[in-house]
Amino acid sequence: KPCGEGTLTELKVNARRRTAASIGRFGEEDVFRFRVSQPGRYVVDTRGPTDVYMKLFGPDSPTALIAEDDDSGLASNARIAIDLVEGDYYVQVRHWNRASGVGDYTVAVRKAR
pLDDT at 41: 98
Give the helix, strand, coil percentages of the chain, each rounded to 5: 0, 50, 50
Residue among 19, 3, 37 nearest 109 (CA): 19
- What's the pTM? 0.92
Residue 6: the pLDDT is: 57
CA distance 58 to 106: 21
Predicted pLDDT at 24:
94
> How many CB atoms neighbour CB 76 within 10 A?
15
Q: Which residues contact 112 (CB under 8 A, 6 or more apart)?
A: 40, 41, 42, 43, 81
Whether 82 contacts 56, CB under 8 Å:
yes
Per-position pLDDT tens, the chain of length 113: 445 445 799 999 999 999 999 999 999 999 999 999 999 999 999 999 999 999 999 999 999 999 999 999 999 999 999 999 999 999 999 999 999 999 999 999 999 97
How confident is the model at residue 1, as a pLDDT? 40
